[in-house]
């Protein structure tokens, strides 16, 4: 068994309109494709590896506090990162729980990007393109292109490029190349997102009401200082109620369009801005709320509400507020009669939120200091309570995603699992639930394999106890002790495979943990190597160690030093082995069911969670007749072996119902060999020769080919395997 918890598999899904947070903004789950990068419960973006659909007839309609009225349209089996209300004071630790097992008042974790990636300068040459612009004295000039087209007598076309007036155009105002990225520039960007537009590809325009002249002056100052451009304030279309600023600059227009697009419903905030330090992002929030918000009294306290007919933009503003410690309310407004898009709102309230708004808007906003918060903040997550859950009839497709590494994504700001591979999670409850199931498997004579890569590293913080963690190797010792205490089937002790990714911060302790041969005697261990690591070994360069709890890079290591340590320890004690999980998953026969993260204890068979290994070996020594390999006999043996192993699946008694379900659904078998050296001896071929290698290739190719044929014949008789 590959340790993990089987949670619904293909049964856990969302309705097609469910909003999902991606690196490009919020999208319907039905519009997400393989390769898209989605936000995960670890506050970072990871690629979607698979998209699944199936029909469904029942859904849960879930409403969460301070989020859109219907937050989740979800099947009841789908796990979410949650905390039951009754556990708030005792454990206070988040865990994956099926949404159908929760009740109103229980808490669901909300997540947002937490990575901070600063950018000191914005290089406009990168945005505008070297083909169209030339730098001179720190300014960018548009290339002068005089293109003439002539049609020859034979009908061919001649194109001439003649720059009679020089290489630099005097028709386009030059613009500064390097723009410091600071709070002022971000405030200009915020003004553009709320009140700016680009027309005809050559004019950037901002429009404000007559009482907001100071915002107009602010824009003039920022554009003048940053870009070296100037203009003046004018009445908008002759109106006394509106002010307008127009910058007639093709270059500036290209900058804004390339960064944000244009149009009230098309503007987006690029990912690099979403990851800037929060103090810089306050500038963008100031520009947005100055241009497109309403201040009003809610009882005795001020609230500030921004309303836009641009859902991705409003969701991005919510995330920027969250990065600044503010839990804003997110919701939908009523669609006006003549509107083409439904407006969304982001509303700020509470003492901390109003203090920030007062600072950003430069207004004396009031809050009396009294507030009762229903939300909680634990382990870096915002926890918001469930308001209601309603079972509804449904008739249509539902969707789910398989996401690399983190196996999770974010639906309407709520952290949800992708349900396919749920390895040992970073919690005491998950670890000891797996130990309990391991004990049951060992009792029946089975072995187990585990990936410990999700456990936080040694000395990392544990918020719930104000202590520090002991790391994966310490918990491996707990598994080892449990195995030692149980006799398998009353005759032999259990066996385990422990795997840790090479980019885990505790990788050195893991590699060396079996130098003392008296330790972890019930474990084989293997290091999961990545393509990135092997490239670094080849180039003799460094690679990053990543804290799995936060997704943050914590240290760099020289790849060859780690690889040499693996080799040295393997020479000393036979441990660790290595496993190329990314290569294995390229050939995963059932990728839609899940991602392979471990193997059986001896490493012969890569397995999904709750799959069991079903192994048999052909004695090649018995296939040699009169000094030659009898391929007819080998073929018959292969077909019999495949049939026999498939029968084992049906007659076997399984220790857990989850293992029985997964094994019968995938019907995976492992057909190997024994007696290879003895076969070579009978064939009079040296073991260390090239001829031995060629024989190995030929025999194994034959076994694979005939094994597939035998499997196809069984499929005709018994039907294809369920998954």
**CATH number of the domain enclosing 477:** 3.20.70.20
Domain boundary residue, one of 549, 574, 599: 599
Residues 172 and 216 in one domain: no
**Does the residue 3 lie in any domain?**
no
Q: Is residue 420 part of a domain?
A: no
DSSP string, 411-441: ETTEEEE-SS---S-SSHHHHHHHHHHHHHH
- Can you list the residues of the chain whose pLDDT is less than 50? 1-10, 420-423, 489
Token pair for 260: 């944000």
Phi, psi at 649, each rounded to 5°? -60, -40
CA distances, 285 to each of 314, 320, 324, 356, 623 (Å): 11, 8, 10, 10, 75
Dist. CA 26–CA 592, nearest whole Å = 24
Please tell me whether residues 485 and 438 are part of one structural domain.
yes
Q: Which of 554, 570, 599 is the last residue of a domain?
A: 599
Residues 347 and 242 in one domain: yes
Whether residue 336 sits in one domain with residue 484? no
Both 434 and 386 in one domain: the answer is no
Query: Is position 199 within any domain?
Result: yes
Domain-located, residue 460: yes
Tell me which residue range forms the domain holding 244. 116-120+181-364
Taking the model in full, what pTM does it have? 0.65
Q: What are phi and psi of 155, to 5 degrees?
A: 90, -10
Residue 372 lies in a domain: no
H helices within 292-387, ranges in order?
311-323, 351-361
Token readout for 385 is 């309570």
List, in order, residues 6 or more apart from 702 with CB less than 8 Å away. 631, 634, 635
Which is it for the CA torsion 276, 280, 281, 287, positive or negative?
negative
Regarding whether 192 and 173 lie in a shared domain, the answer is: no
pLDDT digits (tens, 9 = 90+) for 546-566: 988 777 889 999 999 999 999
Asked if omega into 613 is within 30° of 0 (cis), the reply is no
What CATH number does residue 57 fall under?
2.170.16.10
Say if residue 308 is in the same domain as residue 189: yes
Q: Do residues 260 and 200 share a domain?
A: yes
Q: How far apart are CA 639 and CA 641, in angstroms?
A: 5
* pLDDT at residue 6, as a whole number: 36
336 plus 393 within the same structural domain: no
What's the start-to-end Cα distance of the chain, in Å? 18
The domain tally of the chain equals 5
Alpha helices in 30-174 (DSSP H): 124-128
pLDDT recorded at residue 5:
33
Question: Would you say residue 314 lies in a domain?
Answer: yes
Identify whether the C-beta of residue 140 lies closer than 8 Å to the C-beta of residue 251.
yes
Same domain assignment for residues 237 and 318 = yes
Q: Do residue 682 and residue 560 come from a single domain? A: no
Sign of CA dihedral 363, 214, 294, 307: negative
* Domain assignment present for 422: no
- Residues 6+ away with beta carbon under 8 Å from 157: 149, 150, 151
**End-of-domain residue from the set 576, 599, 622:** 599
Q: Where are the alpha helices (DSSP H) in 92-229?
A: 124-128, 183-195, 213-227
Q: Which two tokens stand for residue 456?
A: 């936080």
Q: How many CB atoms lie within 10 A of CB 130?
A: 11
| Rounded CA separation 54/34 (Å) | 17
User: Crossing angle, helix 631-651 and helix 657-666, to 10 degrees?
Assistant: 140
So what's the pLDDT on residue 87? 84
Please check whether residue 470 is in contact with residue 457, taking contact to mean a CB–CB distance below 8 angstroms.
no
How far is residue 454's CA from residue 424's CA, in Å, rounded to a whole number? 7
Smallest CA-to-CA distance from 624 within 686, 687, 681, 671 is with 681
φ/ψ of 9, rounded to 5, equals 50, -120
- The reply to whether 136 and 228 lie within a common domain is no
How much is the CA Rg of the chain, to the nearest whole Å? 31
Q: Is residue 416 part of a domain?
A: no
């Amino acid at each position: 068994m590959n340790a993990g918890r089987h949670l619904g598999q293909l049964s856990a899904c969302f309705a097609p309109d469910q909003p999902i947070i991606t690196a490009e903004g919020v999208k319907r789950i039905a519009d997400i494709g393989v390769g898209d990068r989605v936000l995960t419960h670890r506050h970072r973006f990871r690629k979607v590896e698979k998209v699944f659909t199936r029909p469904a007839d029942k859904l849960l309609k879930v409403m969460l506090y301070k989020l859109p009225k219907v937050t989740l349209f979800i099947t009841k089996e789908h796990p979410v990162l949650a905390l039951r209300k009754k556990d708030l004071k005792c454990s206070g630790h988040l865990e994956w729980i099926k949404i159908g097992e929760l009740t109103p008042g229980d808490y669901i974790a909300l997540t947002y990007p937490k990575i901070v990636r600063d950018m000191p300068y914005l290089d406009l040459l990168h945005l505008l393109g070297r083909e169209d612009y030339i730098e001179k004295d720190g300014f960018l000039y548009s290339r002068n292109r005089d293109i003439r087209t002539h049609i020859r007598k034979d009908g061919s076309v001649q194109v001439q490029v003649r720059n009679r007036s020089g290489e630099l155009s005097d028709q386009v105002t030059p613009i500064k190349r390097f723009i410091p990225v600071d709070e002022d520039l971000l405030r200009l960007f915020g003004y553009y997102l709320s009140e700016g537009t680009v027309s005809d590809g050559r004019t950037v325009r901002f429009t404000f009401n007559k009482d907001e002249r100071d915002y107009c002056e602010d824009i003039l100052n920022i554009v003048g200082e940053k870009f070296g451009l100037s203009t003046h304030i004018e009445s908008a279309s002759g109106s006394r109620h509106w002010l307008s600023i127009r910058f007639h600059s093709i270059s500036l227009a290209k900058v804004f369009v390339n960064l944000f697009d244009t149009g009230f419903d098309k503007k987006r905030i690029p990912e690099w801005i979403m990851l800037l330090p929060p103090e810089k992002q306050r500038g963008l929030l100031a520009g947005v709320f100055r241009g497109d918000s309403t201040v009003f009294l809610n009882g005795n306290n001020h609230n500030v509400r921004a309303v836009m007919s641009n859902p991705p933009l409003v969701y991005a503003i919510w995330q920027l507020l969250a990065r600044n410690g503010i839990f804003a309310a997110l919701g939908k407004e009523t669609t006006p009669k003549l509107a083409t898009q439904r407006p969304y709102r982001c509303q700020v309230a509470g003492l901390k939120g109003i203090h920030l708004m007062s600072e950003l808007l430069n207004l004396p906003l009031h809050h009396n200091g009294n507030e009762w918060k229903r939300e909680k903040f634990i382990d870096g997550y915002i926890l918001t309570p469930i308001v209601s859950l309603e079972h509804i009839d449904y008739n249509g497709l539902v969707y789910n995603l398989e996401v690399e590494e983190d196996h999770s994504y974010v639906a309407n700001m709520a952290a949800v699992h992708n349900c396919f591979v749920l390895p040992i999670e970073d919690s005491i409850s998950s670890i000891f639930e797996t130990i309990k199931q391991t004990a049951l498997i060992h009792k029946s004579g089975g072995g187990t394999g585990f990936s410990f890569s999700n456990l936080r590293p040694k000395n990392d913080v544990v918020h719930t106890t104000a202590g520090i963690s002991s790391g994966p190797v310490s918990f491996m010792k707990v598994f080892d002790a449990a195995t030692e205490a149980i006799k398998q089937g009353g005759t032999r002790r259990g066996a385990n495979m422990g795997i840790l990714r090479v980019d885990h911060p505790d990788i050195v302790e893991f590699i060396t943990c079996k130098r003392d041969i008296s330790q972890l005697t019930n474990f084989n261990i293997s290091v999961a190597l990545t393509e990135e690591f092997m490239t670094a070994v080849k180039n003799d360069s460094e690679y990053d160690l990543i804290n799995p709890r936060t997704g943050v890079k914590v240290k760099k290591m020289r790849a060859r030093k780690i690889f040499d340590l693996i080799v040295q320890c393997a020479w000393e004690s036979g441990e660790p082995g290595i496993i190329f999980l990314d290569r294995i998953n390229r050939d995963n026969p059932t990728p839609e069911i899940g991602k392979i993260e471990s193997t059986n204890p001896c490493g012969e068979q890569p397995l999904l969670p709750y799959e069991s290994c079903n192994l048999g070996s052909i004695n090649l020594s018995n296939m040699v007749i009169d000094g030659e390999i009898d391929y007819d006999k080998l073929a018959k043996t292969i077909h019999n072996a495949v049939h026999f192993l498939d029968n084992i699946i049906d007659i076997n008694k399984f220790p857990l119902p989850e293992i029985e379900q997964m094994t019968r659904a995938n019907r995976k078998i492992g057909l190997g060999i024994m007696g290879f050296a003895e076969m070579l001896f009978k064939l009079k071929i040296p073991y260390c020769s090239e001829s031995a290698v060629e024989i190995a290739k030929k025999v194994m190719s034959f076994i694979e080919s005939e094994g597939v044929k035998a499997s196809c014949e069984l499929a005709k008789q018994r039907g294809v395997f369920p998954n």
